[in-house]
Chains A and B, each alone.
Chain A
Amino acid sequence: MSLLEVREVTRRFGGLTAVDNVSFNVPEGEICAVIGPNGAGKSTLFNCLTGFDSPDAGTVTFAGRELVGMRPDRVVRAGVARTFQNTQLFEEMSARENVMVGCHAKTRAGFVSTALRLPWTVKEERLAAEDADRLLRLVGLEEWRDAPAADMPHGLRRLLEIARALATQPHLMLLDEPAAGLNNSETEALAHALYRIRDHGATLVVVEHDMGLVMEVSDQIVVLDRGCKIAEGPPRLIQKDPEVIRAYLGEEDPEDV
């Protein structure tokens, strides 16, 4: 059975149909890539899958639960975490604290119990800190633990956001252009992190421009162009798909490719 089922999702902004009747499935344990030229509707689709936006039509079913209409924080609690194209870190907080915020979905100390410093809240804090340290090691950021996010280099900020998303203990992770702005060695490190995350039991959906990364890591690729799905399949077929080539390179002679 598929972990995520996207059915006929449509999102319009005025006269523009940003996502047009898109359907696809993501089987559990796979890495699925969503690609397409700029403006193809990838980020809008992501927002519709995670509660940050509401589709005008269609359904998004995750492990049997309908996600459309759910608040973003509820979607996270249901087991779907995401990162952003423009990283949304807490700049003045340390790397460790950033990841600890991600633990919120799985911890429960509220205002009253924290104000009273009940013993279980102290223990929960300690466990969250240990969790955060473990995840920072997983993405290779343990040296940056106490540095404010604002002081971290661009590439590492993306990894920090991934660690924060992992802290919510997701079954499904949606990464919005994780390789944007990364150099080759950072992209390489990212690819390894993605494999490690999948091996930890999370299913991944990745929006990405970096074709090298997409072709390397994904099991399945969904191609969007101007809001519509134009192709779907494993990397070796997508590479040869004439529709995809046309969408990326325009109406040029196939011999030029």
Chain B
Amino acid sequence: MSGRSLNISRFLTVRAAIVAVLLLVVAVLPLFVTGTDARYVLKVLTFVGINVLIVTGLALLFGYAGQVSLGHAAFYGLGAYASAYVTATLGMPWFVGLAAAIAVTALGGLALAVPSLRLRGHYLAMATLGFGEIMRIVFVEASSITGGPDGFSGIPLPSLGSFVFATPQSIYWLVWGVAALAIMISYNIVSGRPGRSMRALHGSELGAMASGVDLVGLKVRVFVISAVFAGVAGSLYAATVGFVSPSTFTFHFSVVLVAMAVLGGTRSLAGPAAAAILLTLVSFPDIVLPGLSRDILAVVQDWEVDIYALVIILVVLFLPEGIAGAGRRVLGLLRRGVVEPSGSDSGTGQRGDEA
């Protein structure tokens, strides 16, 4: 008994150490990005952080609660336009724009969730897909607010009080800081009572109801949280780039997000975050391989959609539990190797959630 609790506490310490090292790496990375293309590299790494933020919301919705959304690009867009309108058109501070993005995406999430979360599986996916298309058309047609197909330009940089996030480094830190906060919040949620009810809902809806879980209320809450994460990401995106247009918030991007969540795996936050990093960098291979020629780069970007589709197919075929599942398996083997000599544990003492 004491042998096992010792192992669990050692496991938790190791995990805390890994998280600390990762945080440190993410935090100091900009200091090592120098040279002529430093601006570009930092911008790409900032996009990576934005995608990690959105996919963390999808990890809650898809990975834990088992609900599929094919419309998350729409929430990303809603947040971006709400924030852009409040900061650029109304001239309010970025913080107010962020608050507006949160409010609008929460309302949008609620408006979509309340009627459609009574639907299941494919029907829910269809409803979110429809919502995404409707919003894309709204972004194009409501040109007095959104700037129509030409886009919305002149969005001010993010700022807090008199401090303006003007350098690429400071924007990187802002975005990754928000992403880390979202992951921390999500980690608390999945390791507590709401996370358990989400996994229960995924496991058996009848069983969850018979345990007193209010299914519709739970689904609506998870959906709204994941929509708000996308909305916050949208606000960061709009302020970082200074320009938004409907071509960013398409069905294609929703599919990319789902690909990240699927590759990341269920019941995990780390897996989807890793998948978001990997798949975002696929579009920018010159960051990882600096010497890459422009021709190869162009080919990769042309075939981007096909690469994502191929990733989904390969994952479903060969790695159905995604990165998280593979990680769990490796971890299980390692721990068994560590534990078996004392013969006190067969590797089942670990909690179901893996953050």
A residues near B (Cβ < 8 Å) are 50, 52, 71-73, 76-77, 81-84, 88-94, 97, 100-102, 104-107, 109-111, 114-117, 121, 124-125, 128, 146-148, 161, 164-165, 167-168
Contacts and interface: CB of A to CB of B under 8 A. Distances in A.
B267 to A, nearest CB: 7
Contacts of A102: 211-212
B316 to A, nearest CB: 18
B207 A89 contact: yes
Contact of A100 (B196, B204, B207, B225): B196
Given A72-B210, A104-B212, 7 more contacts: A52-B206, A73-B215, A88-B206, A97-B199, A104-B193, A105-B212, A107-B193
B40 to A, nearest CB: 35
Interface in B177-207: 185, 188-189, 192-197, 199-200, 202-204, 206-207
Contacts of B352: 92-94, 97, 148
B336 interface: no
A114 B211 contact: no
Interface residues of B, number: 31
A116 B193 contact: no
Contact of A88 (B196, B207, B214): B207
Contact of B348 (A90, A94, A109): A94
Contacts of B185: 115
Contacts of A164: 207, 211
Closest 9 CB pairs of A and B: A105-B212, A90-B203, A88-B207, A114-B192, A76-B212, A72-B209, A109-B193, A88-B204, A88-B206
Nearest to B222: A111
B210 to A, nearest CB: 6
A18 to B, nearest CB: 18
A111 B195 CA distance: 9
Interface of B: 185, 188-189, 192-197, 199-200, 202-204, 206-215, 221, 225, 267, 348-349, 351-352
A90 B189 contact: no
Contacts, number: 114
Contacts of B196: 93, 97, 100-101, 104
Nearest to A114: B192
Contact of A104 (B199, B213, B225): B213
A157 to B, nearest CB: 11
A128 to B, nearest CB: 8
A101 B285 CA distance: 45
Contact of B188 (A71, A76, A82, A115): A115
Contacts of A146: 348-349
A77 B212 CA distance: 6
B212 A73 contact: yes
A93 B189 contact: no
A89 B202 CA distance: 11
A84 B200 contact: no
25 contacts: A50-B210, A52-B209, A72-B210, A73-B209, A73-B212, A76-B210, A77-B212, A82-B210, A90-B203, A90-B204, A90-B208, A91-B203, A92-B203, A97-B196, A101-B197, A101-B200, A101-B208, A101-B213, A102-B212, A107-B193, A111-B221, A114-B193, A114-B194, A115-B188, A167-B211
A115 B189 contact: yes
Given A109-B193, A111-B194, A90 B209 contact: no
